[in-house]
Structure 1
């Protein structure tokens, strides 16, 4: 059972409703939180100036991990989520810059 399947409707409170269930699942996985904690953390994060970049980064990190595990189904699902996340949270600010970081696979202009 994936983290996404464990997010009951009660975590879809008005204060966290801007988050999609798959975004809550990524926050939970990335930050090692329960879905309820992830929903609250995500809502708080998106109110910060760096929140959109943080959301994209968490999805990116989970996507890279799925690629390393060679999990084709999870990679496809997270690739789709990453594209949607880049369109939804389009601020081009990157929180982390590293010469070893993989190149961004999609343009911020919503391509793909």
Structure 2
């Protein structure tokens, strides 16, 4: 049986990115990992995932969670650096 850590290591996302998805979508971390892994493979998936992380960053700022906001800024920076526009996924014509 695969553990959460096993599944995470097979994905293209970090644990912090998965946690942002989970919080945004009100999912368990395992369900968020599955969703994120699917989204990252979609032509528009990186844009959707960036929006989720940004929404969570804005929510952290709104509730004055400065530590959470700082962490999410780092998550966003890492995501943008590792998944600029997902160039290998081209829209199907």
Matches within 5 A, 1:80-91: 80-91=74-85
Q: Distance in 2 between matches of 1:17 and 1:70?
A: 31
Normalised by the length of structure 1, the TM-score is 0.68
TM-score, normalised via structure 2 length? 0.81
Displacement over 4 Å in runs of 4+: none
Residues 41-92 of structure 1 show CA distances to partners (whole Å, capped at 9, x for unaligned) of 1111111101111111111000000011111101111111111111112129
How many corresponding residue pairs? 84
SS of corresponding position for 1:70: coil
Higher relative contact order (CA 8 A, sep 6+): 2
Deviation of the 1:25 alpha carbon? 0.4
**Structure 1: tracts of 5 or more residues without a match:** 1-8, 93-112
Match of 1:76 among 70, 73, 76: 70
Q: 2:44 pairs with 47, 50, 55, which one?
A: 50
In structure 2, runs of 5+ residues without a counterpart are: 87-93
Bigger fraction of residues in helix: 2
